[in-house]
Amino acid sequence: MSAPAPTRWRKSTHSDASNVCVEIAHMGSSVVLRDSKNPTGPALIVPFAFFVNLLRAV
């Protein structure tokens, strides 16, 4: 699937100039993740609760 067009993509403030990171966007009750090097490539869409649990586990 191509990356959807949510209103605002966010990148970690810890990212460097090489652009090697994951961007996230909130879209309804989901969170969308994509590779910052390939913004028109595939995206992973997960429920918001799943994303919160993922962050707590890391």
Q: Note whether residue 4 is domain-resident.
A: no
Q: Note whether residue 5 is domain-resident.
A: no
Banded pLDDT at 57 (limits 50, 70, 90): very high
Q: Note whether residue 48 is domain-resident.
A: yes
pTM (2 d.p.)? 0.75
Please determine, for residue 14, whether its predicted confidence score (pLDDT) is greater than 80: no
Q: Note whether residue 1 is domain-resident.
A: no
Q: Note whether residue 15 is domain-resident.
A: yes
Tell me how many domains the chain contains.
1
Q: Note whether residue 34 is domain-resident.
A: yes
Q: Note whether residue 43 is domain-resident.
A: yes
Q: pLDDT tens digit string along 22-56?
A: 899 998 899 999 988 888 899 999 999 999 999 99
DSSP string, the chain: -BPP--S--EE-TT--TT--SEEEEEETTEEEEEETT-TTSBEEEEEHHHHHHHHHH-
- d(CA 36, CA 16) in angstroms, rounded, equals 11
Containing structural domain, residue 24:
10-57
